[in-house]
Each structure stands twice: as C-alpha cells, then as structure tokens.
Amino acid sequence: MEVQIISKTPLTISEVKETLDDLEKKGELSGSQQKIKDFATRFNKLDKASATKLVKELRSADIPRMTEEAAVEIANMLPKNDGELNTVFAGKQITVTKENLKKILDIIKAQ
C-alpha cells in the first residue's frame, strides 16, 4: 500500500505526545508509534498550552523569515544561547540578526 501525504503541519513534541496518548487510549500503538511516544515523553519540555503559546509569540514577534517550522523547532529545543539558536536557522540557510536572536531568546526566557 502506497502512503499518500495529504498535508504537512509542524507539531511540537507535546502535541505529538498528546496525540499518541489519545491513540493509546483507543487501542494499542504500533511499534513505531510507541517508539515515537517514548521519545516524546523523554524529550518533551513544555506542556501543550505553553508550547502553543510560545510558537504563537515567536510567530507574532515580527522576525523576518520566521517560519512556523522554525518556531516549532525552537519550542521543541528551547535553546539557551545564540549558538544553540543558530542551529535552528543554519539548517534552513536563514540569517537572523543578533537583535532578533536576542528577541527570540527573551521570548523563550519569559516562558
């Protein structure tokens, strides 16, 4: 059976964990779903409401080229300094000014 992707939406780790928790209540998870749930449980840093709020604040911070994917990745990682934060943008070949990096870190610290 061929898998067809209908749409793509970036999810925070907390959203993934909650979705898999709901699926588990309805029945047993597949092996890969259980591995993903274990990962999400281990590395989840924020509850769903806090992660959603952080993504929303990052998206509305008026930072040029801040995509939803980058905002979700930042919410998942919760970088503590410029070096860690730059790894998010380096993979996307996006340059962010020092002022905007500071703005992002300030938003994270306010959580």
Q: Sketch the domain layout of the chain as residue ranges.
A: 13-43, 49-109
- In the block, residue with structure tokens 């059976």: 1
pLDDT at 1 over 90: no
Determine what percent of the chain is predicted with pLDDT higher than 90. 77
Please tell me the predicted confidence (pLDDT) of residue 3.
78
Mean pLDDT across the stretch 35-60?
95
pLDDT at 57 over 90: yes
Residue range 49-109, CATH number: 1.10.150
Rounded CA gap, 48 and 60, in Å? 18
